[in-house]
Structure 1
Amino acid sequence: MVPSIADVPTTEVVVPIKANPDDNTSKPKVRRVIEEEGGLEKTTASYPNYLPTWDHGEKYSVLEPFNHVEHGKDADPSLKDLLEEGSSIQRLTPTIGSEVTGVQLSKLTSAGKDQLALLVAQRKVVAFRDQDFADLSIQEALDFGGYFGRHHIHPTSGSPEGYPEIHLVHRNNNAWELDEYLAGKNSCVSWHSDVTYEQQPPGTTFLYLLDGPEVGGDTVFVNQVVAYNRLSPAIKERLHGLKAVHSGVEQAEFSLNRGGVVRREPVKNEHPLVRTHPVTGEKALFVNGGFTRSIVGLKKEESNALLDFLLAHVGRGIDYQARIRWAPKTVVVWDNRVTAHSAIVDWTTGERRHLARITPQAERPYETPYLAEAA
């Protein structure tokens, strides 16, 4: 684990600065999907309390550094408090991904949660079936996720009203949206790691299904550790010591251009191209097409050429990718530090795809020295 950079509790949540509710002239606009769908009587959402809201008066100050406690670091490797008698775990591929049945995440003890963090660090993404997460109160779900780090509040996404810590993925009646989305693209592939523009990006991350199409709408994950390991020793050595700029500016501009919200001023941060995982000690590529913009110290052409190579290398690595099929009551847990992912926007039936993400932040990315003899 990297040294503490600030002594701030992991449960700290920044208090929003809202407009004066008594001032009707400055009352902020609030968009509620539940209202657009005709209220509780008419919406077809299975979990209407999770339908997204965008409050234009919800503003947050800049995120401050905090001391992240990595619970997987000292977890019992036997996983005896996580994988109890009657549970089963199956690998999805040799290099990434597992599926677990017979475990109820919401019932885990602290030791079980520690072992969950360890398992996810090892397997990179784990799907848990038959979970009660969506049926808990939103606050109960947040309390569970808060064990793994300080909750991240997304600057632009929709959230359940009153719970800005929940990031929502929501698409309904999507046939025309799909046509619009793919109009300028050859496919829906959009590899990214979540909000890597933050000084302390997320670590152990949770996404759970509320509604989904019968077929389609899967999510594919890629193992950035294997992607790094496949590089030649000469390229690995060259990447070490380099940093890249990760930017949230474009995401904020995209939201504003569509009449959306920006809850916090967008930021840019520099992170190493190769980061070290605090639990496994593994080195992983830390670049993604969503937010990595340039490599510090290189000319534009050089930076673009190197980033293009790395992103293509990650994207075509079918032998270190895993496709997760969503099913009712599924919770997918991944380590955002060493993976990238892409939704697969492939269903045209108009069915609702509605998921909720809990996004605990982790340590500031760091790298350990390159050792040629270990290459």
Structure 2
Amino acid sequence: MSVVETVTEASQAPSLNLRGEDKEQKAELYPYAHLLPHFSPEQYPPLTPFEHEDPGFRALQHADPRAFLKNATNVVELTPNLGTEIHGVNLVTLDSDGRDQLALEVARRGLVVFRNQHEFIDRGPESYLEWGRHFGRLHIHPTSGHPKDYPQIHLVYKDAKSSFNFEREDSITSTVWHSDVSYELQPPGLTTFFLLSQPTTGGDTLFTSQVSTLKKLSPQFIAFLRTLSAVHSGVEQAEFSRSGKRGGIVRREPVEHVHPVVRRHPVTGDEALYINRQFTRRIVGLKREESEAILKFLYDHIDKSGDLQARVKWQPGTVVLWDNRVTAHSAIVDYGKSNERRHGARITPQAERPIPALEGLELAGV
């Protein structure tokens, strides 16, 4: 079966059993039906490099880089190492300076959670695109569903009958730490995510500080890791879709790129571990057993570092921003038996090609 044929069948997947009046009734009952996953037949060429200007740099020149918080009613650090929750700031009202300052805050804290952002969520896809473009070139995911006519908005979706997530059923855990599409030459930086519909309980998201996971290691080992680079691959995700899952399409041929194992944030200068179980495949230049041993150690370190993690419990109107360069995250798929819908939208601006912490590190080897 060709990709186009697969797309034709999959494009109606969220409403396979609905016809005529039933479909119209569902649209009336669910206010975000216009944002349900659509799987278009368009094919896209390879992504081309671009010059990324991080808005956090501009915020550093402001007299008060945290001025966007002046109307906040409460600002709470979720953990010492990661995450801030902000109340009383309406994202819709942030001007260009305020968005720059927000980008800097997310870079410094890794994760920022806003509550009661119904106005932001309800403004719809055109507003989402305008918001995201302030922070970088918007990424179009090669395999995920998107709202019809808005391929730049990545959707996660699961209900009683359908799942369009990249998930496995042959594991004892649904926790898979990753940094989004790290296989791209220029992976995402600041990312915005929110749920349009959520289960009554469950479906939380875990985050971890990759700055802190790196700092926990011994100086000698960190010095060694700075000399390493690793292959990040989108092939498995594409094959997962081509097997008929996730919507069954691949809009852009999968890529593999080499990134430093330790990267440096361009604005803050923070060094962060940059490997993840979902997309990192091997360390360049090492024999297979050596690469597997080091990666397994690092994955286990990330998995077990509960003191470096934060957990976001979703509430209606919650909008979460994180910096993919210095954090990793995992959805928690613990709500399946409830048969409730979890429907999320992600706005994903790309950033710079990862900067090695070790100046002059060679990034070749795919």
Shift of 1:240: 1.1
How do residues 253-272 of structure 1 correspond to structure 2 at under 5 angstroms?
253-258=239-244, 260-272=248-260
Q: Deviations over 1:214-247 (max 9, x none)?
A: 2110000000000011110111111112110000
How do residues 326-337 of structure 1 correspond to structure 2 at under 5 angstroms?
326-337=314-325
- 1:366, 1:203 → 2: CA distance? 12
- 1:39, 1:221 → 2: CA distance? 37
Match of 1:54 in 2: 39
- 1:255, 1:26 → 2: CA distance? 10
Give the unaligned 5+ runs of structure 2: 360-366
Going from structure 1 to structure 2, the CA distance change for 1:78 and 1:264 (only over 3 Å counts) comes to same
Shift of 1:338: 0.7
Instruction: Tell me if the contact between 2:6 and 2:249 (Cα under 8 Å) persists in the aligned partners.
Output: no
Going from structure 1 to structure 2, the CA distance change for 1:99 and 1:77 (only over 3 Å counts) comes to farther
Going from structure 1 to structure 2, the CA distance change for 1:77 and 1:240 (only over 3 Å counts) comes to farther
Q: Match of 1:47, as an amino acid?
A: Y
Task: Give the secondary structure class of the aligned counterpart of 2:68.
Answer: coil
Q: Match of 1:340, as an amino acid?
A: A
- 2:88, 2:310 → 1: CA distance? 21
Task: Give the secondary structure class of the aligned counterpart of 2:346.
Answer: strand
Shift of 1:39: 2.2
Q: Deviations over 1:35-68 (max 9, x none)?
A: 435423125533111100112x210000000010
- 2:58, 2:135 → 1: CA distance? 14
- 2:186, 2:227 → 1: CA distance? 19
- Percent of paired sites with the same residue: 49
Match of 2:197 in 1: 211
How do residues 72-111 of structure 1 correspond to structure 2 at under 5 angstroms?
72-75=56-59, 76=62, 78-111=64-97
Shift of 1:187: 1.4
Q: Deviations over 1:231-264 (max 9, x none)?
A: 1011111111211000001100000001611000
Q: TM-score, normalised by structure 1?
A: 0.87
Task: Give the secondary structure class of the aligned counterpart of 1:337.
Answer: coil
> Cα RMSD between the aligned structures?
2.2
Match of 2:24 in 1: 40
Q: Determine if the alignment matches structure 1 residue 349 to structure 2 residue 328.
A: no
Shift of 1:80: 4.3
Shift of 1:182: 7.0
Task: Give the secondary structure class of the aligned counterpart of 1:39.
Answer: helix
Task: Give the secondary structure class of the aligned counterpart of 1:133.
Answer: helix
Q: Determine if the alignment matches structure 1 residue 161 to structure 2 residue 126.
A: no
Match of 1:303 among 287, 291, 314: 291
Task: Give the secondary structure class of the aligned counterpart of 1:148.
Answer: coil
Instruction: Tell me if the contact between 1:195 and 1:201 (Cα under 8 Å) persists in the aligned partners.
Output: yes
Instruction: Tell me if the contact between 1:77 and 1:118 (Cα under 8 Å) persists in the aligned partners.
Output: no
Match of 1:287 among 267, 272, 275: 275
- 2:277, 2:341 → 1: CA distance? 26
Going from structure 1 to structure 2, the CA distance change for 1:238 and 1:254 (only over 3 Å counts) comes to same
Q: Deviations over 1:316-365 (max 9, x none)?
A: 11011000011101110000011110001111211110010000000000
Q: Deviations over 1:106-134 (max 9, x none)?
A: 21111100010011011101111111222
How do residues 1-375 of structure 1 correspond to structure 2 at under 5 angstroms?
28-29=8-9, 31-33=11-13, 35-36=15-16, 37=18, 38-43=22-27, 44-55=29-40, 57-75=41-59, 76=62, 78-131=64-117, 132-173=119-160, 183-258=169-244, 260-347=248-335, 348-369=337-358
Task: Give the secondary structure class of the aligned counterpart of 1:72.
Answer: helix
- 1:213, 1:320 → 2: CA distance? 26
Instruction: Tell me if the contact between 1:40 and 1:48 (Cα under 8 Å) persists in the aligned partners.
Output: no
- 1:116, 1:104 → 2: CA distance? 12
Which has the larger helix fraction? Answer: 2
Task: Give the secondary structure class of the aligned counterpart of 2:26.
Answer: coil
Size of the aligned set, in residue pairs, is 343
Shift of 1:140: 1.1
Q: Match of 1:352, as an amino acid?
A: R
Going from structure 1 to structure 2, the CA distance change for 1:27 and 1:273 (only over 3 Å counts) comes to closer
Shift of 1:34: 5.3
Q: TM-score, normalised by structure 2?
A: 0.89
Going from structure 1 to structure 2, the CA distance change for 1:149 and 1:183 (only over 3 Å counts) comes to closer
Shift of 1:183: 4.8
